[in-house]
């Protein structure tokens, strides 16, 4: 049996640390290497890992990101399970608020997960530049029969406090 994997891409951050590049666009829409955008890394990782059902959750200054997704990431409509669909913030919470963080973005879009009825949900940010075989991570996850699997890069303990106090995500 082939696993049904749903990809959720968190592409809603303001990207304030990249200002002025994010003055007019969300961080995932920042150009990288000519015609590419930062969001292309996570989408390429999904597609190259055989994950073809992807929702991209957006929020701040999303127009250029939406345009890029529309122009650069179109699948034909032949297979219903092959899609990359941008999902603007819809204020689906009881208080009708914008996303209050990444967990809230997932919570406000849990209906998409329920409708897709996947075996596995892969949740990744859209604001990192990396290459990863997500399929091997899912294989490991299934082999371990895990409830949740988190990808991380080990950092020596002595560097952790300096990373946290400097506010950087790269140490």
* 166 pLDDT tier (thresholds 50, 70, 90): low
List, in order, residues 6 or more apart from 103 with CB less than 8 Å away. none
Report d(CA 9, CA 22) in Å as an integer. 19
List, in order, residues 6 or more apart from 26 with CB less than 8 Å away. 11, 12, 13, 14, 15, 58, 59, 60, 61, 62, 64, 65
Report d(CA 44, CA 105) in Å as an integer. 22
Report d(CA 60, CA 19) in Å as an integer. 14
Higher local confidence (pLDDT), 55 or 99: 55
Residue 120, preceding bond cis, omega within 30 degrees? no
Higher local confidence (pLDDT), 163 or 87: 87
CA torsion sign, 136 to 46 to 13 to 109?
Answer: negative
Mean pLDDT of 15-41: 88
The domain 5-166 is placed in CATH, from the list 3.40.50.880, 3.40.50.720, 3.90.550.10, 3.40.50.300, at 3.90.550.10
Arithmetic mean of pLDDT over the chain:
85
Beta-ladder partners of 57: 10, 87
Residue 170 has pLDDT above 60, yes or no: no
- Domain definitions of the chain by residue range: 5-166
How high is the pLDDT of residue 55? 95
Question: Which run of H or E residues covers position 71?
Answer: helix 63-72
Residue 106 has pLDDT above 80, yes or no: yes
Mean pLDDT of 131-159: 90
Report d(CA 46, CA 10) in Å as an integer. 13
What pLDDT, in 10s, does the model give residues 50-88?
A: 999 999 999 888 888 999 898 888 766 666 778 899 998
How high is the pLDDT of residue 79? 66
Residue 167 has pLDDT above 70, yes or no: no
State which of 93-97, 99-103, 134-138 shows the largest mean pLDDT: 134-138
How high is the pLDDT of residue 165? 54
Closest by Cα among 49, 64, 65 to 10: 65
């Amino acid at each position: 049996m082939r696993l049904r994997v749903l990809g959720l891409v968190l592409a809603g951050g303001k990207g304030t640390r990249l200002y002025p590049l994010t003055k007019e666009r969300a961080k995932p829409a920042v150009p990288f290497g000519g015609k590419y955008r930062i969001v292309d890394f996570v989408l390429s990782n999904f597609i190259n890992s055989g994950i073809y059902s992807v929702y991209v959750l957006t929020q701040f200054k999303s127009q250029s990101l939406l345009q890029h997704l529309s122009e650069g990431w179109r699948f034909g409509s032949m297979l219903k399970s092959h899609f990359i669909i941008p999902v603007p913030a819809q204020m689906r919470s009881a208080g009708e608020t914008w996303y209050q963080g990444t967990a809230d973005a997932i919570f406000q879009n849990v209906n998409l997960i329920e409708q897709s009825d996947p075996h596995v949900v892969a949740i990744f940010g859209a604001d990192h530049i990396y290459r990863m075989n997500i399929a091997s991570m899912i294989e490991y996850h299934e082999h371990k029969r895990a409830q949740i699997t988190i990808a991380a890069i080990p950092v020596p303990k002595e560097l952790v406090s300096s990373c946290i106090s400097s506010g950087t995500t790269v140490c």
